[in-house]
C-alpha cells in the first residue's frame, strides 16, 4: 500500500543529529537558519496532495499533511510540506520524532520534551507555536483514529 | 516655528531617536522599516514621560492638590496641541482613547445605538484595516444595518466609478482609511467627504496611517470623525485620539460608563458629562496623552510637507531599487497616489522566511496579512512583506532592504 517515496524514513535527518546541530549552533537565529536548511532539504509532497482537505489550519503559512497507515508494519507514515521554509524545518523535526511509528508510539511520544530540548518553546512566536501545535494535533488525531479502528 | 518649504534635515531628525543610534543584540545596525506598525519614539517624548512620573504624577481630573492641577493643565495643553494639529474647531472635540481601534469601536457602537436601524447601510472600503471593518460588522449585527464594501481598482485605488451605487440615501455612515496600511494608497478625503455629505452620511476617517504622512484639516476637509494612535505618530503607545464634530459627540451615546464620564448618577439612571469627558470613562492614559504633545510638536517643527517630500523620495527610490529583484510583485498604485509603504511578495519565497532572513541583515519589516485579510483575499495572496518608511529613514536603509532581499533569495536557493 505504501508506494510513496517522499518523506521516507531514509530521507529524514534523525532527531539526534538535529539535537547535536542545535547544541553546536547555540544562537537562536543560527538555529532558525538551520531549520531553513532542513526545510529546503525536506522531500516535497506530490502537488496533487496539496488539497484544501489536507491543509492544516492554524498556520500562517500553508501546511499540507497526509498520513498513511501501513497494515503490514502497522506503522503510520507522515507526509507534510509547507510553503515557508522555517515551517518546513519544523516539519522535519516532527517527522524525525514521529515518522514510521505505530499509532501507540506516536501517542506516547512526548513531543513537547522534543520542543523543549530544542528550545523551540522559547524561540517561536505564539503564532508559530499555534501552527506547530496544529500539526501535532493532526498527527495525534490520525494515530488515535487508527488505534480506535484497529486496537493493537 | 513651522519650517515651511525647508527640506527635512534627516540626520538631525534621526538623531532625536535614541533607539536608532544603537546596534541590535547581534551587533547589527538597526534598519527599522516597520513604521506602519509603530513608529519609534524621540527623546522628547521619552523625557516627557519620565518627567510626569518623576515630577508631578497624579490621576487626571480628580486632585485639587498641586500635582493633580498640573496633570490637568498638561492634559488640556496636549488636547489643544492636537486640536491645532488637525484643525478642529474646539478642544472639547478631542477625546483621548487607548488607540485607533478603541476610537473606531466607540464611534461604531455610539453611532450605532444612536442613529442606526434595520436596513440602514454603513459603507467601508476593501482596503480597510480590520479595525475599520470588524466594529462595523459588530454594530450591523446588533442593529440590522448592512455593511457594504466599496471595491478597489486593479492598481489598488478606490473604485470611484462604483461609488454612486454604494453610497446612497440608505448610507448613514461612510468610514474610510486616509491611507491604506497595506497598499499605501492615499485617499482623496475632500472628495469622499463631499460625496458622503451629499447623501447625508456621517464621514469617518481612520487616520492611523495617514496622520504621520499627510496633513489633515478636519474642518476644510469635512471630516466628522477622525481617529488615530499616538504610537504611529512618534508618540507613546496606549493613547489614541477620537476627534468628533461637537454636535455629533453631543448626540452620540458613550460606549463605556463609569468614572469621569458622568454628570450625575442616581440609583436607577445616570446622565452624561459634556464631551470630551462623556467619552473618557475610567482613568484615561493620561501620561501618554501628555507625552503625545512633544511628538506632535516634533512633527510640526519640521512640517509634514517636508516629511512627505523626503518619504516620497524614499518611496520612489525604493521602487526603482527593488526592480531588479526577480519575482518581485509590489502591491498598490503608482507612487503619486501612495505614501511611503512598499508591500511586496517574491515568487518562491514565503513572506515569513523573507522577514526572518531580512532581520538577519538588521532589516525590520512586517510580514503576514497586516490586518487586511479581505484585501489579501482579493489580491489572491495569504501574506505579504511590508516595508513602511518614516521621516528618519534613509536611502542607505532602502539599499539594506534591497541587499537583504538579494541575500534572502540566495539563501532560499532561488538563484
Please tell me if residue A90 touches chain B, with a CB cutoff of 8 Å.
no
Buried b (16+ CB within 10 A) or exposed e, B201-215: bbbbbbbbbbbbbbb
d(C-alpha B63, C-alpha B73), whole Å: 12
In a domain, A97, yes or no: yes
Q: Count residue pairs from A and B with Cβ separation < 8 A.
A: 35
Reported as a pLDDT band with limits 50, 70 and 90, residue A11 is: low
Instruction: Let me know the angle formed at the C-alpha of B362 by B361 and B364, rounded to the nearest 5 degrees.
Output: 115
In a domain, A4, yes or no: no
d(C-alpha B65, C-alpha B63), whole Å: 5
Condensed to tens digits (0 to 9), the pLDDT of residues B303-343 reads 999 999 999 999 999 999 999 999 999 999 999 999 999 99
How does strand B171-177 pair with strand B121-125? parallel
Q: What is the pLDDT of residue A1?
A: 35
Domain covering B10-38+303-411: architecture:
Alpha-Beta Complex (3.90)
Condensed to tens digits (0 to 9), the pLDDT of residues B102-137 reads 999 999 999 999 999 999 999 999 999 999 999 999
d(C-alpha B241, C-alpha B243), whole Å: 6
In a domain, A70, yes or no: yes
Please count the other Cβ atoms lying within 10 Å of the Cβ belonging to residue A12.
21
Q: A54: helix, coil or strand?
A: coil
Contact A33 B350 (CB under 8 A): no
Q: What is the pLDDT of residue A7?
A: 46
Please tell me if residue A25 touches chain B, with a CB cutoff of 8 Å.
no
Reported as a pLDDT band with limits 50, 70 and 90, residue A100 is: confident
Contact B356 A86 (CB under 8 A): yes
Reported as a pLDDT band with limits 50, 70 and 90, residue A129 is: confident
For residues B120 and B139, the answer to whether their CB atoms sit within 8 Å is no
- Report the 3 state secondary structure along B379-402: HCCCCEEEEECCCCCCHHHHHHHH
Q: What is the pLDDT of residue A10?
A: 55
In a domain, A3, yes or no: no
Question: Greatest CA separation found in chain B?
Answer: 73
**In whole angstroms, how far apart are CA B27 and each of A22, B358, B404?**
22, 15, 16
Q: Is residue A142 predicted with pLDDT exceeding 60?
A: yes
Contact A32 B356 (CB under 8 A): yes
Nearest CA in chain A to B354: A84
Nearest CA in chain B to A29: B360
Across residues B244-268, what is the average pLDDT?
95
DSSP assignment letter at B210: G
Chain B positions touching A82 (Cβ under 8 A) are: 350
In chain B, what are the domain boundaries? 10-38+303-411, 46-300
d(C-alpha B106, C-alpha B354), whole Å: 37
- Name the residue among B293, B331, B313 with its Cα closest to residue B391: B313
Condensed to tens digits (0 to 9), the pLDDT of residues A24-52 reads 998 988 999 999 999 999 999 999 999 99
pTM reported for the whole predicted model: 0.92
Q: What is the pLDDT of residue B24?
A: 84
Q: Is residue B383 predicted with pLDDT exceeding 80?
A: yes
Q: Is residue B5 predicted with pLDDT exceeding 90?
A: no
d(C-alpha B124, C-alpha B206), whole Å: 11
Q: What is the pLDDT of residue B77?
A: 98
Nearest CA in chain B to A40: B412
Q: What kind of fold does domain B46-300 have according to CATH? A: 3.40.640
DSSP string, B239-280: -EEEEE-HHHHHHSPPSS-SGGGEEEE-SS-EEEPPTTGGG-
- Name the residue among B212, B207, B208 with its Cα closest to residue B192: B207
Distance from CA of A14 to the nearest CA of B (A): 22
Q: Is residue B223 predicted with pLDDT exceeding 70?
A: yes
Per annotation, catalytic residue among B108, B371, B385, B387: B371
Per annotation, catalytic residue among A12, A38, A59, A93: A59
Give the CATH number for residue A97. Answer: 3.90.1010.10
DSSP assignment letter at B56: S
d(C-alpha B20, C-alpha B14), whole Å: 7
- Name the residue among B277, B243, B247, B283 with its Cα closest to residue B262: B277
**In whole angstroms, how far apart are CA B182 and each of A144, B276, B332, B402, B405?**
43, 32, 8, 19, 19
User: What is the side-by-side order of every strand in the sheet holding B328-331?
Assistant: B328-331, B341-346, B384-388, B366-368
| Ranges A70-79, B107-116, B243-252, B268-277: which has the least confidence | A70-79
In a domain, A1, yes or no: no
Contact B412 A36 (CB under 8 A): yes
Nearest Cβ partner for B352 among A33, A40, A86: A86
| Beta strands in B93-249, from DSSP E residues, in sequence order | 94-97, 121-125, 146-150, 171-177, 202-206, 225-229, 240-244
For residues B369 and B314, the answer to whether their CB atoms sit within 8 Å is no
Contact A61 B360 (CB under 8 A): no
Cell numbers linked to A126: 505564539
Helices (H) and strands (E) in chain A, counts: 7, 2
H/E stretch holding A138 reads helix A126-149
Nearest Cβ partner for B350 among A32, A33, A61: A61
Q: Is residue A150 predicted with pLDDT exceeding 80?
A: no
Reported as a pLDDT band with limits 50, 70 and 90, residue B220 is: very high
Q: What is the pLDDT of residue A152?
A: 64
Structural domain total, chain A: 1
In a domain, A64, yes or no: yes
Contact A29 B360 (CB under 8 A): yes
Q: B315: helix, coil or strand?
A: helix
Q: Annotated catalytic, B364?
A: no
The answer to ipTM > 0.95 is: no
Chain A positions touching B411 (Cβ under 8 A) are: 33, 36
d(C-alpha B59, C-alpha B50), whole Å: 16
Dihedrals phi, psi of B25, to nearest 5 degrees:
-60, -20
In a domain, A63, yes or no: yes
- Name the residue among B135, B62, B84, B119 with its Cα closest to residue B299: B84
What angle in degrees, to the nearest 10, is found between the helix axes of B134-143 and B100-115? 20
Nearest CA in chain B to A83: B350
Contact A84 B411 (CB under 8 A): no
Chain B positions touching A60 (Cβ under 8 A) are: 352, 368, 382-383
In a domain, A140, yes or no: yes
Q: B301: helix, coil or strand?
A: helix
Could you list the residue range(s) of the whole structural domain that residue A99 is in? 9-149
For residues B60 and B309, the answer to whether their CB atoms sit within 8 Å is no
Cell numbers linked to A82: 509547507
Please tell me if residue A56 touches chain B, with a CB cutoff of 8 Å.
no
Amino acid at each position: 500500500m505504501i508506494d510513496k517515496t517522499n518523506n521516507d524514513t531514509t530521507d529524514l535527518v534523525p532527531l539526534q543529529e538535529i539535537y547535536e546541530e542545535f547544541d553546536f549552533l547555540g544562537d537562536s537565529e543560527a538555529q532558525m537558519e538551520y531549520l531553513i536548511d532542513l526545510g529546503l532539504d525536506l522531500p516535497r509532497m506530490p502537488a496533487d496532495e496539496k488539497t484544501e482537505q489536507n491543509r492544516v489550519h492554524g498556520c500562517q503559512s500553508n501546511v499540507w499533511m497526509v498520513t498513511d497507515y501501513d497494515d503490514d508494519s502497522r506503522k503510520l507514515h507522515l507526509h507534510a510540506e509547507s510553503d515557508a521554509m522555517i515551517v518546513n524545518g519544523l516539519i522535519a523535526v516532527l517527522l524525525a520524532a514521529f515518522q514510521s511509528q505505530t499509532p501507540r508510539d506516536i501517542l506516547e511520544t512526548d513531543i513537547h520534551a522534543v520542543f523543549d530540548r530544542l528550545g523551540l518553546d522559547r524561540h517561536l512566536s505564539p503564532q508559530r507555536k499555534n501552527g506547530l501545535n496544529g500539526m501535532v494535533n493532526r498527527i495525534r488525531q490520525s494515530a488515535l483514529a487508527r488505534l480506535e479502528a484497529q486496537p493493537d | 516655528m513651522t519650517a515651511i518649504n525647508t527640506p527635512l534635515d534627516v540626520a538631525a531628525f534621526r538623531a532625536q531617536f535614541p533607539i536608532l543610534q544603537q546596534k541590535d543584540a547581534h551587533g547589527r545596525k538597526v534598519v527599522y522599516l516597520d513604521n506602519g506598525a509603530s513608529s519609534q519614539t524621540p527623546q522628547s517624548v521619552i523625557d516627557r514621560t519620565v518627567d510626569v512620573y518623576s515630577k508631578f504624577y497624579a490621576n487626571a481630573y480628580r486632585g485639587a492638590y498641586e500635582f493633580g492641577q498640573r496633570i490637568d493643565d498638561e492634559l488640556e495643553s496636549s488636547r489643544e496641541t492636537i486640536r491645532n494639529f488637525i484643525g478642529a474647531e474646539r478642544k472639547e472635540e478631542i477625546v483621548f482613547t487607548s488607540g485607533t481601534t478603541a476610537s473606531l469601536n466607540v464611534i461604531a457602537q455610539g453611532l450605532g445605538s444612536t442613529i442606526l436601524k434595520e436596513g440602514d447601510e454603513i459603507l467601508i472600503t476593501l482596503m480597510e484595516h480590520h479595525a475599520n471593518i470588524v466594529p462595523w460588522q459588530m454594530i450591523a449585527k446588533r442593529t440590522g444595518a448592512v455593511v457594504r464594501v466599496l471595491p478597489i481598482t486593479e492598481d489598488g485605488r478606490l473604485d470611484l466609478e462604483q461609488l454612486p451605487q454604494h453610497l446612497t440615501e440608505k448610507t448613514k455612515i461612510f468610514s474610510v482609511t486616509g491611507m491604506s496600511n497595506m497598499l499605501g494608497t492615499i485617499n482623496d478625503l475632500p472628495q469622499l467627504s463631499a460625496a458622503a455629505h451629499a447623501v447625508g452620511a456621517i464621514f469617518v476617517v481612520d487616520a492611523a496611517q495617514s496622520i504621520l504622512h499627510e496633513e489633515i484639516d478636519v474642518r476644510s476637509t469635512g471630516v466628522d470623525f477622525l481617529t488615530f494612535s499616538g504610537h504611529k505618530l512618534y508618540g507613546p503607545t496606549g493613547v489614541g485620539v477620537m476627534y468628533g464634530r461637537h454636535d455629533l459627540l453631543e448626540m452620540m451615546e458613550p460606549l463605556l460608563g463609569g468614572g469621569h464620564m458622568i454628570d450625575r448618577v442616581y440609583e436607577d439612571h445616570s446622565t452624561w458629562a459634556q464631551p470630551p469627558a462623556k467619552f473618557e470613562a475610567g482613568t484615561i492614559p493620561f501620561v501618554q496623552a501628555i507625552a503625545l504633545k512633544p511628538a506632535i510638536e516634533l512633527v510640526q517643527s519640521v512640517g509634514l510637507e517636508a516629511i512627505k517630500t523626503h518619504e516620497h523620495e524614499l518611496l520612489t527610490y525604493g521602487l526603482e531599487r527593488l526592480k531588479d529583484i526577480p519575482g518581485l510583485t509590489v502591491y498598490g498604485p503608482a507612487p503619486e497616489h501612495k505614501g511611503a509603504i512598499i508591500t511586496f511578495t517574491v515568487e518562491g519565497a514565503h513572506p515569513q522566511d523573507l522577514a526572518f532572513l531580512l532581520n538577519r541583515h538588521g532589516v525590520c519589516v512586517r510580514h503576514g496579512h497586516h490586518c487586511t485579510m479581505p484585501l489579501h483575499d482579493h489580491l489572491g495572496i495569504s501574506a505579504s512583506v511590508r516595508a513602511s518608511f518614516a521621516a528618519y529613514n534613509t536611502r542607505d536603509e532602502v539599499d539594506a532592504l534591497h541587499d537583504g532581499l538579494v541575500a534572502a533569495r540566495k539563501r532560499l536557493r532561488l538563484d
